[in-house]
A and B are shown apart, each in its own frame.
Chain A
Amino acid sequence: MKTVTMGYNQVFVPQKHEFYVDMTCEGCSGAVTRVLNKLDVKFDIDLPNKKVFIESDKDADELLETLKKTGKTVNYIGPK
């Protein structure tokens, strides 16, 4: 659904965020997958590079808190 006003775009575009998550094996990325599945967001996990990309309109802090639930070291790298 789009809401566009004159000269000012109010469309909520899902922002893509990049996170560093210290994952060492498939079990780790599996845990991240399960936690993110509960949140209902689009995401992509790059295990070799220990990166997680999340596409969501939720703010980065909320996503960071969710990722931290796994107990792993998590850092927010920035929007992508």
Chain B
Amino acid sequence: MAQTTVNSVKVAVEGMTCGSCVQNIEQHIGELPGVFHIQVSLELKQAAVVFDSSMQSPESLAEAIEDMGFESSLPDFVTAE
């Protein structure tokens, strides 16, 4: 029996300017398999994602956002804060 491992990650997202960008990402990424919850913040320029780590990884989520035309990076790789 496969075990579900719930994980959460905050992905930095660049290039969003309005509410429709936010909604668009929330809808699109929220539909991906293994994604339980996503909350995108325009002010913080980040997406907080709760996901099943057997189906998604922080890298795959960042890549999915990248594919949509936004620049995304994982906090671990961001040196300057």
What are 10 pairs between A and B in contact, CB < 8 Å? Answer: A24-B20, A27-B20, A28-B17, A28-B20, A28-B24, A31-B15, A34-B15, A34-B70, A71-B24, A72-B24
Q: For A25, A31, A32, which residue has the most chain B Cβ atoms within 10 angstroms? A: A31
Question: How many residue pairs between the two chains, A and B, have CB atoms under 8 Å in the bound complex?
Answer: 47
B5 to chain A, nearest CB (A): 27
A69 within 8 A of B: yes
| B interface, CB within 8 angstroms of A | 15-18, 20-21, 24-25, 27-28, 67-71
Q: Which A53-79 residues have a C-beta within 8 angstroms of B?
A: 69-72
Q: Are A27 and B67 in contact (CB under 8 A)?
A: no
In the complex, chain A residues whose CB is within 8 Å of the CB of B69: 30-35, 69-70
Q: B67 touching A69 by the CB < 8 A rule?
A: yes
Could you tell me the distance in whole angstroms from the C-beta of A55 to the nearest C-beta in chain B?
19
The interface on chain A, measured as residues whose beta carbon lies within 8 A of the other chain's beta carbons, has a size of 15
- A interface residue numbers (CB < 8 A to B): 24-28, 30-35, 69-72
Q: Chain A residue with minimal CB distance to B70?
A: A31
Docked pose: A4 CA to B69 CA in angstroms:
38
CB of A72 to closest CB in B, whole Å: 7
Q: Are B68 and A27 in contact (CB under 8 A)?
A: no
Kindly identify which residue among A25, A26, A71 contacts B68, using a CB–CB cutoff of 8 Å: A71
Which residue of A has the minimal Cβ distance to B26? A71
Residues on the A chain within 8 Å of B16, using CB: 27
